[in-house]
Each structure stands twice: as C-alpha cells, then as structure tokens.
Structure 1
Amino acid sequence: MMLSRKQLVFLLAGMLMIFSPVWAYAHVKWFTHVAPVKEPIEHILSPLFMGIALLVALVLAVLTQLLPKLMHLPLAKRLDEALAGYRKWSRYILKYGTALALLVQILSGTVFAPEFRVTHTGEMLWVWITIAVLVIPHHAATKVAAALLLALFLYVTSQAGLFHMLDYGFYLAIIWVLFIGKTRLEEWGFPTLYLGTGLSLCWVAVEKWVYPFMTVDIIQTHHVPTFGFPPDMFIVLAAYIEFVVGYLLVVGILNRLLAVVVTILFILTTTIFGYTEVVGHLMIHIILLIFIIEGVSFYYPPIAMHKTRLDQMVFVFLNFIFVLATFLLLYYRFAS
C-alpha cells in the first residue's frame, strides 16, 4: 500500500521522535558528580562509531534531495504562511524570553546553567539589573542589557574556564542578536543564533563520547531507559542524535521540524530530571520557539552554494565527516 505525501511527512516526524532517545539532550555535567575521565581516543573511534558516521553522512546527503519536495506539500505551505504572521514577534520573544530565563536561573541561585552557582551579592545584583534593563521596552535599553549580559558571561567564563563555557556559546549569539537590533547589521542576528545554537549542541554532544563514564553513571542513577541497547552503544547513538541536530541547524536543513521535535524531547526529559532540566534548558526552549516561527525565511544555508544535486550530496557527506572529526579532535585535545 502506497503512502500519500502527507502521510510520509507525519511518518518522518514520528520516526524522529520514536527513535530519538529522550535523554540525548540532557546535559551530562548537571546530573552526575563522577570525576571526568577521558576515554582513550582509539576506544572512541570504534567500528561502531565510524560505521554510524558514514551511515549518517549518507542519510544526510539523501535528505538534502527529499526536503525540497516535502516543503512544497500543501500542508507545509499552509504551516509556513500561518507561522509567517508571528515573525514580527521573534525579537521580542528573544528579548523577554532571555529575561525570563535569567529570572528562573537567579531564583534557583544559578546563572546560565545549573552548574554555575551565584556565590556573592554583587553577582546576584548584576543579574537582577540585567533582567530589569531587559524588560524596558526600548532598543537602547536592549543594547545596554546585551552589554551587561556580555560582562556577566565573561565573568563566569573567568571563573569556570573558556573550555567549560563553550557548552553555552549560544549565549554569545543571543547577546549579538540583542545588541545589533535596530541597526544595519540586524539581518545578521538570527543566522548567528542558528549558527551559535547548532555549534553548541554539537560541542555538548562530543562530551558524551569523551566522558562516557559520566554518562553511564547518569543512566544507572536516574534509571534512564536505553531502549534495549547496551549502555555503551546507547551513549554513542544518543550523542550522534544531538550532534546531528546541531549540524542540521548550522547547515540549514529541517530547521522547523527539528525545532518542534527537539522541543518535545526537552519537555519529555523534564519527567526524568525534573526542575534542574527546566532551569538549564528554558533558554534553549525559547530559541527553539523562534526557530519554529522563523523556519529558514532569512537563512542562506551553506548547501545553497552548490547548484547540482550531486554537488549538494557530496558537500553534505564530506562536510559532515569533516565537522565531526574537527569537533571530536578539538574537544579531545583540550579536555582535561
């Protein structure tokens, strides 16, 4: 029995949700106190790891040819038209959503992530001032708030270290979007947000490969379902899912559908990890909401530089392998 095109769209979305381990998007450092121990690089580059890398690269290459056809479906067109009416609110969502995320964080005694405790009054006061300035409905106040947020990010970086803060590089993209609003550079804001969020997801995914013992401890402590996979295989698969999501956001593929799926998965992880998950991922939820609204309306993805189908497929295949290798080697080189 042949499926209609509409049914194929729903099937694709359903498969993304069913076969994506819910836990893939949980941040390892938030939920374990096990000391980080690097896995030997020869163990990371196992036949399983390299086999999945080649399979994912091939699937992504084929996906570039399927997606344009999906986007011409009547359902996809109607959805795009419906969401287009909300694009004028995207910057307000980011501005006030950032204020809300900071508020939730400071009320829990943290800033940027659950692992960064606010330890003195001056830092707490700085966060409250940043929130207060963010909610002022004027673009000049938004720029001041962006500067305050940048100073706060640099301070936390000086305490936690640059390598650690790379997990949260998307905050620099948020700061950039807030700062260039109402300027000639404004159109570069959301593409930077896509890039920053995608790169952050890729970077965090590599952590699961380099420090698998931390991940195993989370699985055992929180009774995380592995869907029948051995823990070591499950970790590799979960990290690949997170890495692929980040990569697709960077190259401009499947952004709106990905944002919906990842948002649902983040909500589901809350049932396992509770309030800590809410505090840590609220800002990401806000960014994903913007991605759902915006789609790729403003984004000129790198794949668009190649005109023929074969060129696009070869580009995505080789580029994924290159990006994967670069992230893994950089992370492994500077990981403690």
Structure 2
Amino acid sequence: MPLNKKSLLSFIVALLLATPITAYAHVKWFAEVEPEKVPIEQILSPFFITFAVLVAIILAVLSQIMDYFMKIPYAEKIDNFLNGIRKYSRYILKYGTALAFIIQLVSGTMFAPEFEITEVWQTVVMGIIILALLIPTHISTKGGAFLMLGLFITVWQDYGWFYMLDYGFYIAIIFVLFIGKTKLEGWGFPFLYLGTGLSLCWVAVEKWVYPAMSLDIVVNHNVPTFGFDPEIFIVMAAFVEFVVGYLLVVGILNRILGLVVTLIFVSTTLLFGMTEIIGHAMIHIVLIIFIIEGVSFYHPPIKMHKTKIDQFVFVFLNFIFILATFILVYYRFA
C-alpha cells in the first residue's frame, strides 16, 4: 500500500506516544536494589528473539522510506532552516558543555550523578574547564578538552573501564572539542554520532542483563507500562534505547531521532527530577546538535549499498549482528 503524508505523520505521532518514557532513565541513578545478573537463557527468551527479528524488519523497512519524511508538510522548510544554522553547531557544543559542567559543579558531581566531587582539586579542575570553554578561542577550548580528558581518566581509574563505557560519549565530545580548527575537524561530528550511539546501545543492554534494577524503578516511581507486563515492558524499553543508538551509528533519521529522544528526556525529567537534569544535560546538548546537523557531514554505512534490497538486507543482518555482539560482550564482562 503506498505511503502518503498523513500515514507517515500518524506513524511519527504513534512512535512518540508508544515510546516508553523510561527508556533513557539511567537505572544506576535510581534503582534501590543491587544489580543481579540473570542467566543468558532468561535474556534470550522467545519473546526477546521474536521482538528482535520484528525490530530488525521494521528498521530495514524504515531505511527504505526515509525520503518520504521530507514530504511531510513544512518538513522541507524546517530542514532548510536547520541547514542554515549548522555553522553554530560547534559553538553549541562548546558552550553547552560548559553549561552542563556548571550544573554538575553546582550539584557536586563530575560527568554523572554517581561521580561525586570528593577532593578540592577536582572542584578546581572543573572550574578551570568551565572557564576554558567559555573563553572564545580555540586554544582555550583545546586546553579545556585536555583537562576534561585527564579528569575523565581519573574517574575511569576509580570505577573501571567496564563501568565507564556507559559514558563513552564524553570521549567523543572531548575529541570534537580538541580537533577544532585542525585538519581533522571533519572527523569530529561523525565520531560524536558513533560515540553517542554506541553508548546508548551499551546502556540499553544493562537493562536486559540486570532487569531487577529497571523493574525496581518501574514499581517505585509508578512508571506507566501502557498495559504491558512490567518485565515485558522493560525488554521493550531497552530495545527502544538500543534502536536509537543503532540508528545514530548507521545514519538513519538523525534529526527526527534527536527530536524524539529530546522530548523523551524532557518527559523523564518530570518523573525523576533534578538527578535526571544533572545526568542528561550533556546528552541534551548532543541531541540538539544532531537535530541541527542531520547527516550532512556523515556518510552513513547504509550508503555503501546502492540497491534497495541490498540496503534492506544490510540493515536487517547488521542490526541482529550488532545486537548479539553487544549482549555477548556485556554479559561476558558484567
């Protein structure tokens, strides 16, 4: 059946309404139970496998109808407007990062709510980073990025590499800030897409491996499950997060995804309050950049395949492969 503007618009609205609002709540920040890894057989249940195949098919189809989204009323005008403000993207990242660090410093944390500032030197370094990013020169920006990397490494040493993979997008942000005004500048935003997408995928797997933490959040915060059983709802919520991360990596619908995820983050703030604001302020800045940039600078992997059928098969098999790889790697080291 041919797609038309009205059906596509209805699809987007349905996606917004059906997306679980807890998909992006970081379970480590809110769960009141200890993480307990479930058997791999429980993760790879018949429902999980069936849902994974269904999602892979939907994504493969989605890759074939992307062009239709531009035919939605006012979509082209909005697209042209966003194209016109791309020149401000790097400034948004620079000053947005400074704003996120100010929020963290005021709350007594670094990078995320669970990393509390415990030493005076950490406060000093955070302050210097903020000042360096606020100074409108690329030299000071590089200095701020260098200090961010050093501070991130100290936290990494305290919590371990596995734990800090949740926040791998900070490495991408540091990279973008550091290579500004250099020959490598063009690699910045593609790396930001890749780093953010992989971080979202990684965090999503946590909800499958440690479902008790997510279940605790759903129960204690009275999160609506839209009629689904809480355990099934958690599986679906994690799939939403994983899919968003995957689509950012393969370069499909980045502007729409940025808008959808931003709206979801706003809704989760109503449930989880200040902790959510502190933890996701930096992600909000990144999503604003995704909304502005789209895939203008990015050659998505899907474009390697010229025919529709090749693109369909690529997205389907690639999603299943990446999903399986993330689950096995996370489960092995969890």
TM-score range, shorter chain: over 0.9
* C-alpha deviation, 1:12, in angstroms: 2.2
Counterpart in 1 of 2:195?
A: 196
Counterpart in 2 of 1:115?
A: 114
Counterpart in 2 of 1:237?
A: 236
8 Å contact from structure 1 (residues 260, 288) kept in 2: yes
1:90-124 deviations in Å (ceiling 9; x for gaps)? 00000000010011011101111101111111111
Any residues of structure 2 matched to 1:51-66 within 5 Å, and which? 51-66=50-65
CA distance in 1, matches of 2:100, 2:332: 32
Q: Which amino acid aligns with 2:280?
A: H
Q: Which amino acid aligns with 1:60?
A: L
CA distance in 2, matches of 1:226, 1:33: 19
CA distance in 2, matches of 1:71, 1:317: 23
Q: Which amino acid aligns with 2:159?
A: A
Counterpart in 1 of 2:309?
A: 310
Q: Which amino acid aligns with 2:17?
A: I
Q: Which amino acid aligns with 1:141?
A: S
Counterpart in 1 of 2:296?
A: 297
Q: CA 1:187 to 1:74, structure 2 compared with 1: closer, same or farther past 3 Å?
A: farther
CA distance in 1, matches of 2:51, 2:19: 15
Counterpart in 1 of 2:221?
A: 222
CA distance in 1, matches of 2:88, 2:102: 21
Counterpart in 1 of 2:320?
A: 321
Q: 2:113 is paired with a residue of what secondary structure?
A: strand
Counterpart in 1 of 2:151?
A: 152
CA distance in 1, matches of 2:168, 2:176: 13
Q: Which amino acid aligns with 2:259?
A: V
Q: Which amino acid aligns with 2:23?
A: A
Counterpart in 1 of 2:263?
A: 264
Counterpart in 2 of 1:255?
A: 254
Counterpart in 1 of 2:20?
A: 21
1:55-108 deviations in Å (ceiling 9; x for gaps)? 011111111111123235563322211111110100000000001001101110
8 Å contact from structure 1 (residues 255, 296) kept in 2: yes
* C-alpha deviation, 1:160, in angstroms: 1.1
1:34 aligns to 2:33 (yes or no): yes
Q: 2:22 is paired with a residue of what secondary structure?
A: helix
Query: Between Structure 1 and Structure 2, how many residues are aligned?
Result: 334
Counterpart in 2 of 1:127?
A: 126
Counterpart in 2 of 1:84?
A: 83
CA distance in 2, matches of 1:3, 1:260: 26
8 Å contact from structure 2 (residues 9, 72) kept in 1: no
* C-alpha deviation, 1:227, in angstroms: 1.1
What TM-score, normalized by structure 1, do the two folds share? 0.97
Q: Which amino acid aligns with 1:168?
A: Y
CA distance in 2, matches of 1:12, 1:258: 13
What TM-score, normalized by structure 2, do the two folds share? 0.98
* C-alpha deviation, 1:7, in angstroms: 2.1
1:96 aligns to 2:95 (yes or no): yes
Q: Which amino acid aligns with 1:144?
A: G
Q: 2:64 is paired with a residue of what secondary structure?
A: helix
1:243-292 deviations in Å (ceiling 9; x for gaps)? 00000010000110111011001000011000100000010001000111
CA distance in 2, matches of 1:271, 1:70: 30
8 Å contact from structure 2 (residues 113, 278) kept in 1: yes
* C-alpha deviation, 1:9, in angstroms: 3.5
8 Å contact from structure 1 (residues 118, 124) kept in 2: yes
* C-alpha deviation, 1:25, in angstroms: 0.7
CA distance in 2, matches of 1:299, 1:58: 24
Displacement over 6 Å in runs of 4+: none
* Identity of matched residues, %: 62
* C-alpha deviation, 1:306, in angstroms: 0.3
8 Å contact from structure 1 (residues 6, 75) kept in 2: no
* C-alpha deviation, 1:3, in angstroms: 9.8
1:137 aligns to 2:110 (yes or no): no
Q: Which runs of 5+ in 1 are unaligned?
A: none
Q: Which amino acid aligns with 2:153?
A: L
Aligned-pair Cα RMSD in Å = 1.3
1:2-44 deviations in Å (ceiling 9; x for gaps)? 9983323421221111110111110000001311110100000
Q: 2:136 is paired with a residue of what secondary structure?
A: coil
